[in-house]
Amino acid sequence: MESRPSPTPALSPALSIVVPMYNEEGGAGVLADEIAAALKGVDHEIVMVDDASTDETLSALKSAKRRHPQLRILHHEKNAGQSRALRTGILAARAPIIATLDGDGQNDPADIPALYRRLLDSDGRLAMVAGERLGRQDSAAKKTASRAANAIRRRLLKDGSADTGCGLKVFRREAFLALPYFDHIHRYLPALMAREGYAVGFAPVSHRARAHGASKYTNIGRALVAVRDLMGVMWLNARARRPGEIREED
């Protein structure tokens, strides 16, 4: 049976920031510092999941923890990928609302508060606010491939998202845990939220050039996986049946 950390409701902060990390020793500590600074006025915890890094990422995170007691470090014995690292962090999170961002530092933590406030101000109408990157700081080839993939996905899934690959999202933990889990789920969250009847909003966010490390994906590798995943999500959507309003009778 898979072992996993359990949340502790008595210690629940308002917001948990979950960050998957893999071979990001150069930027791990800086990113933890930036998150803590961006959320100085919010009761929060930072959950960074080291996905069996082969460099000194774990050591960098432990150093950051001495500066930020709200930082929790989870470590995978084996590399399991970005989606599994996110799920590990979300399962362990103590807050009812989760913010996620990529561990490469290209998402700006300063954008989190605006997405968080929009979710809170929706009075329960939204289950997720997903970031959409403006002024992407990626190679021309990567941006072209991403635009094509987003256009195909949006047409087939009708999820309303122009940039589902953006790692910066804020959502209700209970909504995420209601979704069917599979590897690479993080690229299909708006469509899967809609499948379960949840409303999703979108907001522009900034994007930064990678300052440390290297990308873990290639355009070809991402495309091959995306075709299979897209077909799977289309099948899930086709098999969805929602019961409408649910009420408990006396």
d(CA 104, CA 87): 18
Banded pLDDT at 97 (limits 50, 70, 90): very high
| 151 has a pLDDT exceeding 90 | no
Pick the CATH number of 10-238 from 3.90.550.10, 3.40.50.620, 3.40.50.10470, 3.40.50.1820: 3.90.550.10
**Range name among 22-31, 170-179, 218-227 with the lowest pLDDT average:** 218-227
Kindly list the domain boundaries of the chain, sorted by start residue: 10-238
| 14 has a pLDDT exceeding 90 | yes
| 243 has a pLDDT exceeding 90 | no
**Range name among 88-92, 134-138, 178-182, 192-196 with the lowest pLDDT average:** 134-138
The reported pTM is 0.85
Q: What percentage of the chain has pLDDT greater than the value 70?
A: 85
Residue 122 tokens read as 């929706």
Strands of 15-21's sheet, edge to edge? 71-75, 44-50, 15-21, 97-100, 169-172, 128-133, 200-205
**Range name among 88-92, 110-114, 225-229 with the lowest pLDDT average:** 225-229
